[in-house]
Amino acid sequence: MLFFNMMNEKRVGGYMYKVSNTILLKSLVASSLLLSGCAIAEETTSTSPYTPVQDYDGKAFALPNGEEMSQFAKSHRKEVSAAALNYLKTKYKLQNTKVTNLVGAQNAVVAHVSSDDLPTFYTSVIVFVRDGKISDVSEVEGKVEGSIMSVLYVKAYEKEFQNLGKFCKKMTEKYPVVGMRQDAIENVFEMGVVRPNYYVSITDLSAPSAFKLYKKNHNSSSEQLRREIEKELKVSEPQITLTFFIKKRFSDPDKQLGQKLISNFKQYGSFPPGLYAFFLNSNEILKDSGIGKSHKGTDVGKDEIQINLKGQMLYEY
């Protein structure tokens, strides 16, 4: 998981919020994303806080105490977006970026950003507002570095991640399951590599030599990155979470179907090294947070699947 060392943490649903002097910040917690909550399936989507994943676009995503800054973001979208992108360009030399969502927080706007400098990844920065004007731009400590490191990891194991993508696609064709919509990913997620059926969590501290190599040369090859990563990587540190959703609208997850997906995963092979969690979620998602209603799958710290650097699957670690 990715935890950031900040004061005054507050957990809301499956997300970790960080309380600073002026802002509540959401930090992605890999093992609990899209997993908790409850509601009545028979409620209509117009009155229920939940909506089927097929309809979920993430536009209702919100942070606590963010109403005022949401309005500011709407009326100052151009200025807020420019400030966020300039911060990433100046500090991290990221060029091919775009703002995918602006989320109001307390005295600030959180700018969700996607980058295509490498394989596509997501991150966020905080645009602070004082007296109706942009006053500063900052970030949650480690968030941008972790986002970049996750995409460096994907680049280093490019073929293996392509195989993981093929596996996910095959499962959605073989079984009645779906992934998250692309527009929902862009509006909600802000931490690293996220795809419709999986996301990758790793920090720059997991392979500092690879991160330093990238900082010196943004065009470092997959082979160069992989060499550096394998010098220092602990395979329990890259955490890869597979998430599928029941296709039938308003339906709960099926335990037997979840076990079939896991069984297929164990037989498929040729995946990138890391610690894998596997979740089959209900069809419905909480509109304002992107958290799923319920899930079946692996238990955190109990029966996750580890793949070592040789590509071997381990079930005890």
Please check whether residue 109 lies inside any domain of the structure: no
pLDDT value of residue 37 = 33
Q: How many domains are there within the chain?
A: 1
3-class DSSP string for 44-62:
CCCCCCEEECCCCCCCCCC
Confidence check: pLDDT of 72 > 80: yes
pLDDT, tens only, 113-130: 999 999 999 999 999 999
* pTM of the shown model: 0.84
Tell me the pLDDT of the chain averaged across its residues. 86
The residue range of the domain holding 153 is: 147-314
pLDDT band at 316 (very low <50, low <70, confident <90, very high): low
Of residues 285 and 22, the one with the higher pLDDT is 285
Please check whether residue 86 lies inside any domain of the structure: no
Distance CA 198, CA 270 (A): 16
Please check whether residue 180 lies inside any domain of the structure: yes
Please check whether residue 66 lies inside any domain of the structure: no
Distance CA 61, CA 122 (A): 16
Please check whether residue 134 lies inside any domain of the structure: no
Confidence check: pLDDT of 98 > 50: yes
